[in-house]
Amino acid sequence: MAGRNPVRELLRSGRPIQRLWVQEGERSGSMSELVALARRQGAVVQAVPRARLDELSAGVVHQGVVAAVTPFPVLELEQLLELVGREEERGRWPLLLFLDGIQDPQNLGACIRVAAGAGATAVVFADRRTAPLTAAVSKAAAGTDAHIPLVRVKNLAQAISRLQQEEGITVYAAESGGGRPYTEALWQGPVGIIIGSEGTGVHELVRKRADGTVSIPLAGPVESLNAATAAAVLLFEAVRQRGQAAMKRH
């Protein structure tokens, strides 16, 4: 993992770091903070030339710091079902983000960051048609991938069906040219949102499993929003409606 913000979020999450490489001669305040955090967690800290960081980061902008971490702790469908069940036992409404065909690492990372910011329960994506979880994804997520469960499934449509049947999740698919306006949808209760790629949208087999479709009305000469922007609009509408419901209960 490379970059100061992603590494800082990683360290704060408690995810194990084996080694932290920092640029020789770099002693700024933020770098000193990262070094101190890493040492407190028992990581080896090593100062190396910038050229070595360029090699380690594989082209990702590193800002003078690269961390060696354990592989992404990706969950499977059965673990997601257990996680959703625990949320409901605690009296919380699960909020899931399903990603269908997001192949751009920057967009995938941005979607993860948005979901983490909205307090979503998990981000779910298919084995195929999804960008691999690389350092570029973590960089785009600003390290927030360490704060939210990521779930990889073999078949997204089948996973959605099981969540609907076993956990009562209501699932909406985002569409750029159809569906009811997103503000008219009910986002209270256990809810999932399907976001497709900007080019192809949600695949037909996946869309058919949704309980309904929602759209984001656009005022300008733009046909659609990118995946992360659409996810942000819809997730935070869910946050808004849930907040209002919580206020009424109290």
The residue ranges of every structural domain in the chain are 4-69, 74-249
- Hey, what are 130's tokens? 């999804």
Is residue 133 within 8 A of residue 74, CB to CB? The reply is yes
pTM of the predicted structure, to 2 decimals: 0.81
Phi-psi map region of 89: left, alpha, beta (phi>0 left; psi -120 to 50 alpha): alpha
Rounded to whole angstroms, how far apart are CA atoms 105 and 137? 5
Sequence-distant (≥ 6) Cβ neighbours of residue 19 within 8 angstroms: 43, 44, 45, 46, 67, 68
* pLDDT value for 72: 66
* The architecture CATH gives domain 74-249: 3-Layer(aba) Sandwich (3.40)
* pLDDT value for 147: 83
List the strands of the sheet with 17-23, edge to edge: 44-48, 17-23, 65-69
Rounded to whole angstroms, how far apart are CA atoms 30 and 21? 14
* pLDDT value for 250: 56
Topology at the third CATH level for domain 4-69: 60s Ribosomal Protein L30; Chain: A; (3.30.1330)
* pLDDT value for 71: 66
* pLDDT value for 138: 79
Running along the chain, 250 residues long, what does each successive block of 10 average in pLDDT? 83 80 84 87 88 85 84 88 95 96 93 96 93 82 83 97 97 89 95 91 95 91 88 97 79
Sequence-distant (≥ 6) Cβ neighbours of residue 163 within 8 angstroms: 80, 81, 84, 96, 169, 171, 192
- Hey, what are 23's tokens? 């640029």
